[in-house]
Amino acid sequence: MNEFEQLKLYLTNRDGYLRQKSLIALKNNFKPDVFPLLLRCLSDYVEANRQAAEENLKVWSKQQGFSKLCIDYFEDVVAIQDRVRRMRDIEQIIFESILSNLGYLQQVMFGQQGHRVRSIFQHVKKYQWINLLELERLCKFAKDPMLRVFWLQGVLHRNQTDELKNEFRQSSFGDIQRQLLQTLHLNGSLETETLLLAWQSKYKSVMDYACFVLKGRGFNFKAYFNQYPISSLDNHQEKIRVRQLMLMKWDKNELLQLISLTSNEELRAHVLISSLKSNYLSMEDIIYLSTLTYVQLNFSLQYIECLLRALTKQITVDELTILLGLTHECPSLLSKLGYLKYLDYWDRLYWIICLIEDDREHQPQVAYDLQQLLDEAIRDGRYVLFAPDSSWLPARIERVYAAILQHFQKQISPLQLSDYQKMLNILKKRCSL
């Protein structure tokens, strides 16, 4: 720890003499991380330290960029007003410095989010550093939602239908669109034209509310979809149609048609991942798409992993093989081992056997680790109660059976064989071995 870091620690030390020593040593040090510590020392219970901190800050106030620093640490500045011991002279200097740089203050307040922004806003409104009408106008475009609420309250208070509709069309914020849409609906002035515009919003909450109102009015969604068929949509409209179909749980054949017709691979991947998460599509639907000769599905391994994570149930080895066939990338051995968590016991066992037997050029250590993994999987078979999937062919069952017998010959004594007999019997029932 260097001397500077040590002095900063002294400023928070319980020993008043050490704090005083540090304040004197840092008098001409203008590094930004010292500033909040000096603000804290303004309420030091030792009067000499409070005065020393005040003198240091007065020197700081003459430096270029002091006002910007006060705004950057605005929460620390505000905190000194709520303490028992206060140095009012330096407080006045600090706030005068902030008021001298309203341009940067507005840049922070309307361009950022968080507690500091809201603290600045409360002070601006309380002490009217900015005219309230101007403040309301600026809050319309603020990034922080709490500031946008201040502007929205003014719009809702005036409650003018034309203004509400115009602001809904112009706003790019989902929370504002949702509130304006609800107000128009409650006022009885929400037209179908505005609802259809909301139904094409990029925000799910806005689309959901528009869909709810349209259903209540008996809107003919089927006629709407027929009026704008999938073949006539551009890329942006395809994305909107996907969200509409998934939101309404529409006939999934139409979604499958859209996936098969679109040339946007990123959209395809997004649709498949989202629909799997919501149980709108199943693994069988993806397999169906992969069998269509006119649909060229080509995903990266990253997208394949996302598809697997989106599944709500385990898949079979055959389904995993089909998924991996949708990419031209070759998964590493580590990736292949990562797929084990998406398989049930028997498919997991078969996958490990394939990794060992299909590629015998593994490094000795890798081959040993794979064999250990197989041995561990076979040992877990003592607790398995279910048979392999019905899609397993006799050849696959025989391959697994042979691997288990080979394991028994190496690892299991005759006394332990009875513990694993149940596992062998399950396989025998599935195939006459």
CA gap 307, 283 in Å, rounded:
10
- pLDDT tens digits for the chain (433 residues)? 788 888 888 888 888 888 988 888 888 888 888 999 999 988 888 889 899 999 999 999 999 889 999 999 999 999 888 887 888 888 899 999 999 999 999 999 999 999 999 999 999 999 999 999 999 999 999 999 999 999 999 999 998 999 999 999 999 999 999 999 999 999 999 999 999 999 999 898 999 999 999 999 999 998 988 888 888 888 888 888 888 888 888 888 888 888 777 777 778 788 888 888 888 888 888 888 777 755 667 778 888 888 888 887 888 898 898 888 888 888 888 889 999 999 998 999 999 988 888 766 667 888 888 888 888 888 887 777 788 887 888 888 888 888 887 777 766 555 556 666 777 777 777 665 5
| Domain ranges within the chain, ordered by starting residue | 1-100, 220-343, 345-433
Q: What are phi and psi of 359, to 5 degrees?
A: -135, 95
Q: Which residues of 229-255 are buried (b: 16+ CB within 10 A; e: fewer)?
A: ebeebeeeebbbbbbbbbbeebebeeb
Alpha carbon of residue 274 to chain centroid: 14
CA gap 285, 301 in Å, rounded:
19
Q: DSSP letters of 45-78? A: SSHHHHHHHHHHHHHHTTSTTHHHHHHHTHHHHH
Amino acid in position 184: L
Check: CB of residue 98 under 8 Å from CB of residue 140: no
* Predicted TM-score of the model (pTM): 0.70
**Strand, coil or helix: 184:** helix
